[in-house]
Structure 1
Amino acid sequence: MSYVSFDRFQSELLFKAISDRSERGSVIVTTNLPFSQWTELFENTAMVAALVDRLTFKSYVLDMNGDSYRLDQTFKAQHS
């Protein structure tokens, strides 16, 4: 999640899917945005808070910042 905004229906559908799944098993979500910027993607800030709450409950949050793999591969291809 990071480049496309969600309308109300899409937001509610995603929330329901993650909420239902989180009660039964693991959920993996990847995104380029920190949780603090998720309100830019979803219309309902209360729903964002509830979604983040469900995703982070008993979870591991990995913050992986580093150089772009794609950019590195582009530079390597240009110099070979």
Structure 2
Amino acid sequence: MSTISPGEIARLQVCLRRLLGSQGLTVNPPPRPGLSVELAVNGEVIGTLHRDDDEGEVSYNLNIVLLEEDLPAKA
């Protein structure tokens, strides 16, 4: 996995807002060097983004974390 540049962060935010239909979504640079780029909705971090460069083909992996405590009550 390689580092995501500030320009890529901006482009990813535009793309993810469009794909997921949420203007409250933000892609944030790592809080410290060496950490992951964070995906947040309305300020709450919900996952991380990672860049993969395989033989010149670039892709981005999104890992979203859902906590049991955030799910609706069981029926």
Q: TM-score range by the shorter chain?
A: 0.3 to 0.5
Q: Which structure has more helix as a fraction of its residues?
A: 1
- Higher fraction of strand: 2
For normalisation by structure 2, the TM-score amounts to 0.34
Larger Rg: 1
TM-score of the aligned structures, taking structure 1 as reference length: 0.33
